[in-house]
Amino acid sequence: MVGRQRSSVLAAAYVVLVLLFLYLPVAVTVMFSFADSPRLSMPIEGLTLDWYRRAFSNPLMGVAVRNSVILAAVSAIAAGALGAGFAFGVIRMKSRRLRGVLLGASLLPAVIPLLVIGISLAVAFSAIGWLQGLRNAAFGHVLVCLPFVVLTMNARLETFDFSILEAARDLGASPFRAFLDITLPIIRPSILGAALLAAALSLDEFVVTWFNIGSQQTLPVLVWGLVRRGVDPSINAVASLLLFSLICLVGISNLSAWRRRR
């Protein structure tokens, strides 16, 4: 009994240490974004929102936020639609081997290093005469987000009962009407969750963006540029805002998944 309790304590301590290792740097960044002193040192004497006001007074901040929102919206819509359609098409195939091959091929962008993807896209766009800009970065974001949407939708469709579609067809519904009235309402929460996940990944994407966006800015690119000049609490404020946005998107995505399970 004593040995079992000791093992439980050690397991709990190990979990706590791993969580501290993962989240303590993030917590410190958020904490210093509210510190009233420009020196990043402990103890913190007071709290202020001046660093957030200073961050938003930067004229590049508005451009970076706008570009990040545009890329996140494009990634959510394009990756959500393409990934859902691809997963639906793959799951309808009768050959399990072909399904496995196609699913594995669709997940390759999640395995290939982002550095390779970013450079490859930059070379490809240059070869066809496309100048660096928001359009090129949008293609890169959709490519990076697509595997995660496919994986999410495939997990949902694996448990989908396609016999209800056959019943609808027997009752005279066309394929489009069966999809619109039956399939879409059932898988809509999964599509929404996958699209929000794509938006969260897009907001956080830096490597592919940096190689393809040129002289324009997104929030991660702006933070990297500010860090090169030196670290001050306004950078912590920008990073904290990005973190809060990601947490909200992931939280909404998980909420939609929870509601689907209910």
pLDDT band at 104 (very low <50, low <70, confident <90, very high): confident
Average pLDDT rounded to a whole number, residues 52-61? 78
As a whole number of angstroms, the distance between CA 51 and CA 239 comes to 12
pLDDT in tens, 143-185: 999 998 888 888 777 777 777 777 777 777 777 777 777 777 7
Asked if residue 22 is part of any domain, the answer here is: no
Please give the residue range of the domain that contains residue 104.
52-261
Q: Do the Cβ atoms of 37 and 44 come closer than 8 Å?
A: yes
Domain count for the chain: 1
pLDDT band at 257 (very low <50, low <70, confident <90, very high): low
Average pLDDT rounded to a whole number, residues 49-74? 83
CATH number at residue 105: 1.10.3720.10
Asked if residue 98 is part of any domain, the answer here is: yes
Asked if residue 34 is part of any domain, the answer here is: no
Average pLDDT rounded to a whole number, residues 49-69? 80
Asked if residue 42 is part of any domain, the answer here is: no
Asked if residue 221 is part of any domain, the answer here is: yes
Asked if residue 110 is part of any domain, the answer here is: yes
Confidence (pLDDT) at 28: 79
Asked if residue 26 is part of any domain, the answer here is: no
pLDDT in tens, 205-248: 889 999 998 888 888 888 788 777 766 677 777 777 777 877 77
Asked if residue 195 is part of any domain, the answer here is: yes
pLDDT in tens, 108-142: 888 888 999 999 999 999 999 888 888 999 999 99
